[in-house]
Homo-oligomer: A and B are copies of this chain.
């Protein structure tokens, strides 16, 4: 039986063990790269399908751009190269079939590339180099494109889902005729992310903007959603960037306006990644294993028979199969685990570990009483429910669990937002309680850096809903108009 370290004992170890034991992912033979196992990938597929529909509903189309980026592209946008050139995998050589190049000349079995290629850490540069040829007139705008892809950012310290050298993500890249439209797009996509993360993943977030030093490399403004994990550390769940005309200027992407003038195009980009699975796990799960919100659970209902005789199993199977068909019709995914090589107790633990939201147990006594036992994973509560109307009951229960998981996480997050007015209190809260610390900051990079160096806390975001108030920076004592949220973060 798989048992895992408790959160209290060692939160970090709990997470690592849970990912492995719930069969979500594992480390591969390639340093820093993970294998996403079928159960973990099924969650990613559900996330993908939902997000993809939301992107399409907001007018976006998918496309695919190359994995490799010529090194020179990366250097064209000054801030961007500063941010990304230092965490890359570099392709320097290629090998050719028949050791022959395009001109029929025999080449070395391993030949050096004329220009080194970077494995994409993000695709702004290769995409804007492409958009250059797509945009001539205002009629060609907006371009609203998303890409599902793998990206590589070389990392020395990696953790499954949270930080891996290769990860899966989507990246939207849009081009617009004016600033207003681009800003609206960046804000719209942040709302899409917040909607998805809160309503599908059940993870509450705070929406806001990043401080200048935490912005995406090459962005004018980075909008973000920040989530709070059970251990009081924050996790950036999604970002949407207003890129201004930076990439248009770097790649010379101009359009002719209605008035006949040549103008640079305005840009956004936005992305979420398999990192979200880490946020999902750390938001809801407990010492028994995963707790999955029904909207994202690959198996929403598991039915487990308890029987001593074959006749009993036959009778239970009939009910189970009818229930499965009924639930499937309602769009609910059901597993009937009638394997005889595993005992019910083993199965209970297994599906608890895997976070299946609802467990239906049917035993011989239940048959007599025309009832089943229902256990919900989030609260571990059990109840006996009449077979009559069971599918309606389960449908409503799944919705109730979805709401309840979010509510619980939201209450926890709210309890982990602490306003402080002095640097002493700031440090004390960070060390004793964790969570978001809401404090006045004078807006200077120097203060931000000093606080980070001294406490490891960074500014997670300047919340959209921050109220204007007169305050003084907890560090410098300089005047400040708004509180920002600091936290230690993943």
A95 to B81, CA, bound (A): 12
Task: Give A364-391 interface residues, CB cut-off 8 Å to B.
Answer: none
Cβ–Cβ contact B102 & A94, under 8 A: no
Cβ–Cβ contact B61 & A41, under 8 A: yes
Taking the closest CB of chain B, its distance from the CB of A453, in whole angstroms, is 14
Task: Give A314-370 interface residues, CB cut-off 8 Å to B.
Answer: 341
Cβ–Cβ contact A168 & B61, under 8 A: no
Cβ–Cβ contact B66 & A41, under 8 A: no
Cβ–Cβ contact B87 & A62, under 8 A: no
Q: Which among B61, B87, B91, B101 is the interface contact of A119 at CB below 8 angstroms?
A: B91
Task: Give A48-95 interface residues, CB cut-off 8 Å to B.
Answer: 61-70, 73, 85-95
Interface-lining segment among A151-159, A241-249, A398-406: A151-159
Task: Give A412-446 interface residues, CB cut-off 8 Å to B.
Answer: none
Are A63 and B91 CB-contacts (below 8 A) given A28-B126, A119-B119?
no
Task: Give A152-173 interface residues, CB cut-off 8 Å to B.
Answer: 152, 154, 156-157, 166, 168
Cβ–Cβ contact A86 & B92, under 8 A: no
Q: Which among B28, B67, B68, B117 is the interface contact of A66 at CB below 8 angstroms?
A: B28
A37-55 interface code vs B (CB 8 A; 1 in, 0 out): 1100110110000000000
Are A166 and B67 CB-contacts (below 8 A) given A28-B126, A92-B93?
yes
A426 to B124, CA, bound (A): 53
A109 at interface (Cβ–Cβ under 8 A)?
yes
Cβ–Cβ contact B102 & A65, under 8 A: no
Q: Could you list which residues of chain A lie within 8 angstroms of chain B, going by C-beta atoms?
A: 26, 28-30, 33-38, 41-42, 44-45, 61-70, 73, 85-102, 109-110, 117, 119, 126, 129-130, 133, 139, 145, 149-150, 152, 154, 156-157, 166, 168, 341
Cβ–Cβ contact B62 & A35, under 8 A: no
A420 to B54, CA, bound (A): 57
- Please name all residues of chain B whose beta carbon is closer than 8 Å to the beta carbon of A45 when the two chains form the complex: 62
- Which residue of chain B has the shortest Cβ distance to A25 in the bound complex? B64
A92 to B116, CA, bound (A): 10
Oligomer copy total: 2
A341 to B62, CA, bound (A): 25
Are A139 and B89 CB-contacts (below 8 A) given A33-B67, A67-B166, A130-B29?
no
A30 to B113, CA, bound (A): 12
- Please name all residues of chain B whose beta carbon is closer than 8 Å to the beta carbon of A109 when the two chains form the complex: 86
Cβ–Cβ contact A156 & B101, under 8 A: yes
Cβ–Cβ contact B94 & A91, under 8 A: no
A83 to B380, CA, bound (A): 54
Cβ–Cβ contact A96 & B91, under 8 A: no
- Please name all residues of chain B whose beta carbon is closer than 8 Å to the beta carbon of A102 when the two chains form the complex: 156-157
- Which residue of chain B has the shortest Cβ distance to A274 in the bound complex? B64
A130 to B26, CA, bound (A): 9
- Which residue of chain B has the shortest Cβ distance to A85 in the bound complex? B95
Q: Which among B42, B62, B68, B154 is the interface contact of A166 at CB below 8 angstroms?
A: B68
Q: Which among B26, B97, B126, B156 is the interface contact of A86 at CB below 8 angstroms?
A: B97
A29 to B117, CA, bound (A): 11
Cβ–Cβ contact A38 & B63, under 8 A: yes
21 contacts between A and B (CB under 8 A): A29-B73, A29-B130, A33-B67, A35-B63, A38-B63, A41-B62, A41-B64, A42-B62, A67-B150, A68-B89, A86-B98, A86-B99, A87-B97, A89-B91, A89-B94, A90-B91, A90-B95, A95-B154, A96-B156, A100-B156, A150-B150
Cβ–Cβ contact B101 & A68, under 8 A: no
Cβ–Cβ contact B68 & A30, under 8 A: yes
A68 to B166, CA, bound (A): 9
A86 to B133, CA, bound (A): 34
Q: Which of A68, A98, A126 has the most CB of B within 10 A?
A: A68
A157 to B33, CA, bound (A): 31
Taking the closest CB of chain B, its distance from the CB of A298, in whole angstroms, is 9
Are A29 and B126 CB-contacts (below 8 A) given A62-B42, A63-B35?
yes
